[in-house]
Amino acid sequence: MAPTDQPNNFIQQIIDADMQSGRTSTLVTRFPPEPNGYLHIGHAKSICLNFGLAQQYNGHCHLRFDDTNPDKESDEFVQAIVEDVKWLGFDWHGDIRYASDYFPRLFQWACELIDQGKAYVCELDSDQMRAYRGTLTEPGENSPYRDRPSAESRELLEKMKAGDIAEGAMTLRAKIDMAAANINLRDPVIYRIKHSAHHRTGEQWHIYPSYDFAHGQEDAIEGVTHSICTLEFAANRPLYEWFVENLSVPSEPRQYEFGRLNLNYTITSKRKLKQLVDLGCVVGWDDPRMPTLSGLRRRGVSARAIRNFCASLAVAKTDGVVDMSQFEHFIRDDLNTNARRAMCVLKPVLVTFTNYDSEGERFNVPVHPQRQELGSRTLPFGRQVYIDANDFSEDTSLSRKKFKRLVIGDYVRLRGAYIIRAEQVVRDSNNNIQEIKASIVPNTVGADAPEGIKPRGVIHWVSAQDAVDCTVNLYDRLFKQAEPDAGDSNFLDHLNPESLQVIQGCKAEASLGSAVAGEHYQFEREGYFSRDYADSDKVVFNRTIGLRDNWKS
């Protein structure tokens, strides 16, 4: 039963009622991706909903590939989707299922419909079919092939199946009602000829079922009780029900629709995401700027943050656009709690301590200030450290309030280490700062500042001798427009040219040399980062997100 501590959405209310009336004893849902691309954040909403309901009601959720269109589908996409669903933290009931496993059964049902006089082979081409279909305000007209004898349709269907008929020359159509108000019921096509090879069934089939002819029957075969899909399928529901009613299906699933997730500043359409990949606007489906699950993972977003975000979304009968900052809030919230702290200097400037010559001094600092159980890490210290160029100024008139960093002649604390004082700047022949000469204030590690010394602030640093050289990718939103694909606008025109900034020559604390991809870090004062997995010889970190929302107006 559903827990009572959260308000039920309309689907939970339907399930509750079905369980009370006895229509449903075990809830069975399914997530039915088409393997024609990688999963995106929109799919996560559907995954969390379908698998989440199954968990909540002690039921089952199936993973079923809707692989009915060989032209666009591939095994690469199947593998990526399987990996993403697992990564998101869900496990399906039984084996992975495929629409293609049901092709023989679906074909039998098509024959059954023909034999009942409820389907026929039609020879109208697609233009003619469109003309016969009518419009929203005018009824359609019957196809001249509508009343051909069943035996003839059966014979032609066999030929279509055997590959003897050219693509587009014939279709199999359900005989329903050319005057139906719902255009989906005007003798919809249920089988098309395609001579392309299928990634699982190879050359075995030359005809493929339509989505509508496949989906409900597959649900029925699997005993799916509640077939949950997005609103755009609402108009297909009468057809879904027509097949369930008119065929000898083993169970009677029902379809329910909810509002899809749309997120601003990005796009949630596999077709458009594929365009970004194919045109080289991004490095691949898993580019950290992509709203794909693999892109988000590579960027350093945790599965938990995505699940929490999805749990915050309304499951309603209307579509809406969710603000990207809502998603980002859940990303930050999760990383703030779970990311390990570390230091990395993005724009290094060398600091040499003139009054320090110890060797091998190390400081222990916590991995996470609020989570003792994560233990501590060791920071080697030395005569030279790097600090960030933005944390230093020669302008001694800067007020302490405005610039809480290092200024010539003044003090600052190095996080977890000494208080230091900047003494002098050494320049190279181009007049650039080459080095800052500074001094440490002895006995200030883990201790208050002595009388009369007031550090301006705390800055991050890395021991020069032990630093790990790394590259940092700073990512920002992929689009600069809130609704890049609204109306007639071409989403490709709205790409944010500053969505990636690569910074080379960064200096990370020693422990980051062994950082593994998938581990999350907060680089203190810089943001949240995760090691990239593309090139394991080099140390590359991807910025998941900054510490604060810079897009807020």
Alpha carbon distance 483, 470 (integer Å): 35
Give the closest residue to 142 by CA, choosing from 116, 168, 176. 176
Q: Within positions 50 to 69, which residues make up the interface with ligand ATP, using CB under 6 A?
A: 66
| Contact of residue 45 among ligand ATP, Mg ion, none (CB under 5-8 Å per partner type) | ligand ATP
519 binds ligand ATP (CB under 6 A): no
Select the span of 34-42, 99-107, 153-161, 534-542 touching Mg ion (CB under 5 A).
34-42
Q: Is 34 a catalytic residue?
A: yes
Q: Check the CA dihedral 421-427-428-432 and report its sign.
A: positive
Q: Are 80 and 27 in contact (CB under 8 A)?
A: no
Q: What tokens does 319 get?
A: 């579509």
Q: Within positions 231 to 270, which residues make up the interface with ligand ATP, using CB under 6 A?
A: 260-261, 268-270
Alpha carbon distance 303, 311 (integer Å): 12
- CA dihedral (62, 47, 216, 269) in degrees, to 10, reads -140
The DSSP 8-state label assigned to residue 548 in this structure reads S
- The single residue of 200, 270, 299, 332 carrying the catalytic annotation is 270
The pattern of x and - marking residues 371 through 400 that bind Mg ion according to CB under 5 A reads ------------------------------
Which amino acid would we find at residue 463? S
Distances 132 to 95, 143, 145 between C-alpha atoms, Å? 43, 7, 12
Q: Binder to ligand ATP among 15, 45, 296, 485 (CB under 6 A)?
A: 45
Q: Binder to ligand ATP among 19, 24, 33, 73 (CB under 6 A)?
A: 33
β 261-263/458-459 pair status: unpaired
The pattern of x and - marking residues 443 through 482 that bind ligand ATP according to CB under 6 A reads ----------------------------------------
Q: Binder to ligand ATP among 28, 78, 99, 229 (CB under 6 A)?
A: 229
The pattern of x and - marking residues 200 through 239 that bind Mg ion according to CB under 5 A reads ----------------------------------------
Give the closest residue to 188 by CA, choosing from 176, 200, 196. 176
Give the end-to-end CA distance of the chain in Å, rounded to a whole number.
44
Least separation in angstroms between CB 272 and Mg ion:
13
Alpha carbon distance 296, 532 (integer Å): 12
Select the span of 31-39, 155-163, 281-289, 479-487 touching ligand ATP (CB under 6 A).
31-39
Q: Tell me the catalytic residues.
A: 34, 260, 270
Q: Which positions lie near ligand ATP, rule CB under 6 A?
A: 32-34, 42-43, 45-46, 66, 229-230, 260-261, 268-271
Q: Which positions lie near Mg ion, rule CB under 5 A?
A: 34
